[in-house]
Structure 1
Amino acid sequence: GQTVKTKFGVKVKVGAEHDMGDFRDFDKFTKSTSKSSKSSNKELDRARAHESALASEMQRAALEDAADEELDRLDDLAAQRERWLFQQEEKKRRAAEAAARGMSETTLAIATRWLSGARAKMPAQPPKSAGGGGGGKAAGTQKASG
């Protein structure tokens, strides 16, 4: 006999003794199939259930991965924002200190730029001993205005 698919995708062997014409719908036809085909249907259903469980498990894993990535990204953004806020606070604090010392904005900008440059070049030495072209000029302007 040939094989027919039910509406659930289950393949059923149709023997010569089962003529589809006798049955109004497919469900009645599948119910009247022999015991052996019923057991094979059960096995197929079991296999299909297992497959779908695996598929949904994989889907869940993929979703979890996506969620983890998103959380990591948000963490990175939060860290960046914290750093930025900290930098803003630092700038405000420096400006306040400078105002207390009676320094002008430009002098402060030059001083901070020089300080950061000196720090990057030679972190071991104190800024006073860090001579050099740019450094000397910045220090000079600082003394002149202050």
Structure 2
Amino acid sequence: MESLAIKGEQSISLFSRLMLNGKRDLPIRNSEMGLLILADRGNGTVTPAMAANYFHVSKPMVTAMVRSLAQKGYLEKIPSEKDRRSFVLRPTRAGGLLVKSTYRDYYSSMQLLQQKMGEDRFSSLIALIDQANLILEEDRQNG
């Protein structure tokens, strides 16, 4: 059983490295790019709390990413119309251009897998990854 776990760790590590390959020339970290894409696709409705929930990370972690992206000129905080204590995240013009120029590349690996594996096998892969994520999240919450 352990050798299968080791093989799994090696396979997942390689998969992760290959997925991120080619994205190293970004002016921001991959996690920040994910937040910027979410804010861009959210049409002015994404708050830091929503982002933390979406990415399954702590709000302070999102706060640090927001601060970094704002300092770099890619993201701005707009006071919420619903709750003045909160704010929504919106890409600046530079942030929007960065998302537009990298979005296709950012997801090209998934598109390639979907095309080469076929719909059924790709759907199975995603379902298994979702199941694995649930198991790991439950363990993390209970542990």
Larger radius of gyration: 1
TM-score computed with the length of structure 2 as normaliser: 0.26
TM-score computed with the length of structure 1 as normaliser: 0.26
Structure 1 or 2: more helix by fraction: 1
